Chain A
C-alpha cells in the first residue's frame, strides 16, 4: 500500500512502536484516530484483530492505510502482520466503496440459472468490471461466492440486502429506484455533484486519507 515509505519503516522491529509512543506521536489523521479508539476498546478480547478490522471498516467504510499502525500498536503486532491479515480477507477493503455495493454471486448454482449473463449485463449497465466502481463513483461491483440463496438463483446483494431470482430487467429496476433515492438525497443535502457524492458519508470523511498515494 505505502511502498514508498518502507525504506525508513522499522515496523517489524518494534522500533516503530517506540517511535509512535513519543509524546506528540499520537495518530493525527481522523482515520488513524478512529482506528486507535476502536483498537483500544477491543484489544483485550481474545483474537481481537478481526473484530477490530470489522469495526473500523463499519465506521470508515474501509480500512485505510493509516489505520494499520494504531491497530498494530494496540495488539503488539507488526504492521506487516496487520497488513497481511487485511489483505488475506476479500471482505476488507483498502479504499472506500461507492455509495452502493452490488455483490453478484458467481458460484455454481447461480451459474446454472444464468448468472454469467446477468453478471455481463450488470457490468455493462454499471460500465465497470468486478472489483471496480462505476464511472460516476456511485456503485461498486464485487463478485461473491455464494449468498446462500441457491434455491432461488441467481442471487445478488445490494448493500447487504439480498435479492433472489434476479433478472437483468429486475436489476435495472432496482438501479432506477436507487438512482431516484440518490437524487432525492442529493437534493436534500444540497451537496455538490461529483465523485464525493458517490461515497458513503462515513467513507467520504476518511476519503482524504484513504485516497492519498505515495
Chain B
C-alpha cells in the first residue's frame, strides 16, 4: 500500500528523507475525495522533486475533517483537514511537510481534544497504522493477545473474557464469556466462529471503520475465540453495501495466512484456525444472528426460533460462537492487558468501552470510543459540537432504527445498558443520530414502521403484517379530523405495538415499537395530540 512518489531517475530513493504522509483509505474519506487528494499529493511532490511516502491508513474517526491528511514530523503526526485536492499545492507552499501552520492545520493529531479525550482500547490502532501491513500491526502491540491465549487453556481464555465483563456490542449486550462457555462445553467434531459484520443499523459505522482501519485486530480476536471454544473455522459475514471493507478484509486474511497467523499452524502453535469472508446481499434482517446463520448456509435469511441457541446448534447445526465485530475486536486487548484492565472502564454492569458513532445533524460527526457512563449531552455537544444546521437539536435516536427517540429531558441519562433499559431505550450498537427542530416525529414513527415492513423476513405475523398496518395507522392519525377519531387511532397504534413487542421472534418486530412509541410519548404534538396526551394512559 505504501507508494513513494519520486520522479524516475530522481536522486531520492524512497525512504531516503522521504516524509511520510498519511491519507486515509476508509470509505468515509474516499466518499469526500481522498483518492484525488492522494493523487494530488504524489503529483505535487513529484513536481517539486520532494520525496514523500504516501501511506493509506484507516480513518481516525474525526469524520467532519475527512479527508484528514497527516504528516509525520519529528514532533509527531500533524493533522490537516478537510483537505481538497485543490488545497494541496498551497499546503506544500506553506511547508506542511515540516508540519507548518495553515488554515487547515489542527496541530498534532493526538492532541486534538476530540481524539485526546477518548478512551481508545478497541480502536487503538485504527487510523494510526497501515491497515494492511502485518509488520505495522505487530509493531503497534498486535498479536500480544493471541500469543497470550496460546499459552492458556481454553477454559482460561473463556474465563478472562467473562471476567472482563465484555457484553455483545452488536446491541443485545449478552455476556460474551457466557456465550463462549456454552460453545466450549458443547462437544462436537466441528465448531465455528462467526463474525457478524452485517452492520445495517443506520447511524452506525464502527464495524466498517474498524475493518477498514485495523482488520488484523478482528482476525486476532476471531483466532482467540477459535482457541477458546476449540473451533477451527471462522466466517465473517460482511454486508454487500461495504465493498471497501470486504476488499480490505480479504486482503488482510490472505496476508495473515501468509504470515502464519492463520492456517493449520497458528503462530507455530500446531493449532489450526482459518477464516473467510462471506458477502451479504442487502437484507437488513441478516444482522440478526439466526438469520445470518441461515444466510451463511445459503438460504433465505429467515429468523430461527431459539432454542436451540446458536452456541449449541448454530451454523450447519454445529456449536457456533457468533459475535459482532466490535465484541471480537475487543478480545485481543482483554487478553493482552488482562480482564481487570478492561473491566476498570465503564459503570455498573456495562464494563469497558463502547465505540459511539455520532451521526445525523451534528457539526462534528465521527467515532468516539468512551467508557460506558458518558451522557448523550456530552457526546452531542462536547464532541459533536451541536447541530450542523445551527438549529436547536430536538430528538436523538440511539441504537439504530430500532432504538428509541430521546427528547432533551433524557440526554443526561448515563449511557449504560441498564440505565437505558429503564427509560425504554437501548444503547444498541452505539449509533447516535441527531435531528434538529425541523424533524417531524410522526414521519419518523411512520418511517420506523415502513422500514420494518421493507425489511421483515416474514416469519412472524406481527412484524410482517403489523408493520404495514402500522404505516396505515400513523397515516390515519395524521388524517384524523376529530380528536376522538385521532385518539382511537392512537389507541390502535399502541395496541399494535404491544402485539409486535410480544409476538415477534427477533428484535426487528419486537423493537420497531421503540422508535414509534418514543416518538408518540415524547413528541405528541407532532401527531396532532395535546402535549399532555402523549404519555401512555392506563388501560
Contact = CB atoms under 8 A, between A and B. Distances in A.
Interface string B357-368: 111111001110
Between A89, A113, A150, A160, the greatest number of chain B beta carbons within 10 A of the residue's beta carbon is seen for: A150
Contacts of B435: 112
A20 to B, nearest CB: 21
Contacts of A160: 243
A165 interface: yes
Given A50-B278, A162-B30, A89 B297 contact: no
A194 interface: no
B298 A151 contact: no
Contact of B295 (A50, A90, A144, A148): A50
Interface string B1-41: 00000000000000000000000000110111000000000
Interface of B: 27-28, 30-32, 63-64, 66, 199-205, 207-208, 240-244, 278-284, 295-302, 316, 357-362, 365-367, 388, 397, 401, 431, 433-436, 439, 444, 447, 451, 454-455, 457
B31 A112 contact: no
B324 to A, nearest CB: 14
Contacts of B447: 108, 111
Given A108-B401, A149-B28, A113 B281 contact: no
Given A50-B281, A152-B64, 7 more contacts: A47-B297, A109-B359, A148-B205, A148-B242, A149-B27, A149-B31, A151-B362
Given A91-B282, A107-B401, A146-B202, A112 B30 contact: no
A151 B359 contact: yes
A10 interface: no
Given A50-B298, A88-B300, A112-B439, A150 B431 contact: yes
A87 B403 CA distance: 28
Interface residues of A, number: 42
A206 interface: no
A50 B279 contact: yes
A40 B436 CA distance: 54
| CB-CB nearest 9 A-B residue pairs | A151-B365, A107-B202, A49-B298, A150-B359, A89-B281, A91-B282, A164-B31, A112-B360, A162-B31
Contacts of B30: 161-162
A49 B278 CA distance: 11
B281 A151 contact: no
A112 B361 contact: yes
Contacts of A149: 27-28, 31, 205
B279 A48 contact: no
A131 to B, nearest CB: 11
Nearest to A151: B365
Contacts of A162: 27-28, 30-31, 244
B334 to A, nearest CB: 26
A149 B203 CA distance: 8
A78 to B, nearest CB: 13
A86 to B, nearest CB: 9
A148 B407 CA distance: 24
